[in-house]
Amino acid sequence: MTKLDPNYQPGEDCLKNRVILVTGAGDGIGKSLSLTAAKHGATVLLLGRTTAKLEQIYDEICALGAPEPAILAFDLSGAQEDDYNTLAASIEAEYGRLDGLVHNASLLGRRSPITNYPAETWQRVMQVNVNSTFLLSKAMLPLLEIPAHSSLIFTSSSVGRTARAHWGAYGVSKFATEGLALTLADELDGISNVRCNTFNPGATRTAMRAGAYPAENPASVKSPEELMPWYLFLLSDDSIGVSGEQLSY
C-alpha cells in the first residue's frame, strides 16, 4: 500500500491501553499526534527537549480526561547510548512494554548547497535526525517486542526519497532514515511482532515548514490534524501486516 483509504475511520478507542512514545512531542506534528493518540485511549510518553512545551501538552491531555501521559525531557542532540538504555529501563519499570514508537523529532538545519554547508550544522542534524533514531530504536526494540503487536514509525520527507538541491543534511538525513527503517523492517520480517514503516507527511503547517518556506502563506498548507488518520492507522491494529512500506500522505 502507498495511500490510506480515504474512507478510513479510526475507532474511537483504537489506541486504548496502548503505551506510545512520540519524539518531538512538544510542537508541530508531534504535538498534534500526542493529543490525538491520548484522545484515542493511549498513554503517551511525551519526549522532547523543551519541558515547558511538554508540560502544556501534559495539562491539555489531563484536562481531556485521557490517560495520564508522561514527560520525558530528553535532548536527542546530546544523548549517549547509556542515556537511551536508562530511558528504556525506566519505561520498562513504569509501563512494562511499548506498543508504539514514533520517530518524529527532526531538525531542518540550513538550506544551502553542500559546498557551503557548515560542518557543525551537518553533524547536529545527522545526530538528531539519524543517529538518535538508531539509538532509540535499538534501546526500545526489546520493549516493542513484548506486546503481541507493535508499531515503529520513522518520519520521512519527500527530499528523503528524491534528492533536491539545497536541502543539505536534512535531505540526506531523510534518505538515511528510509535506509535505517527498511533495513530494520527486513531484519524484523517474519520473526517479530514489530511492524516498521516510514511515513512522509508532506507539506504541513508547522514551525519547521515556516522555516523552510518563509515566504509561504501558512494557510496554504494542511494542518497537522489532517495527518492524524494516517498515524492512527499506523499505530492501531488496523495496520497489522503492514511493514517495510514507504508511505506518504
Residue ranges binding ligand NAP (CB under 6 A): 24, 26-30, 48-50, 53, 75-77, 104-107, 128, 155, 157, 201-204, 206-209
Catalytic residue, from 58, 84, 117, 170: name it. 170
102, β-bridge pairs: 22, 153
> Minimum CB separation from ligand NAP for residue 152, in Å?
14
User: Is 152 within 8 Å of 144 (Cβ atoms)?
Assistant: yes
Burial class of residue 221 (count of CB atoms within 10 Å of its CB; 0-12, 13-18, 19+): middle
Question: CB-wise, 155 or 243, nearer to ligand NAP?
Answer: 155
Least distance (Å) between residue 70 CB and ligand NAP: 15
Least Cβ distance, residue 167 to ligand NAP (angstroms) = 11
**Strands (E) located in the chain:** 19-23, 43-48, 70-73, 100-103, 150-155, 194-200, 246-248
- Give me the least distance between CB of 184 and ligand NAP, in Å please: 17
CA 38, CA 183: separation in Å to the nearest integer? 30
Residue nearest to ligand NAP (CB): 28
> Which is nearer to ligand NAP, 147 or 171 (by Cβ)?
171
Nearer Cβ to ligand NAP (142/218): 218
- Whole-angstrom CA distances from 43 to 63, 83, 91 are 14, 22, 12
- Which residue type, as a one-letter code, is found at position 9? Q
CA dihedral (17, 23, 29, 32) in degrees, to 10, reads 40
Q: Is 170 among the catalytic positions?
A: yes
Active site positions, annotated: 170
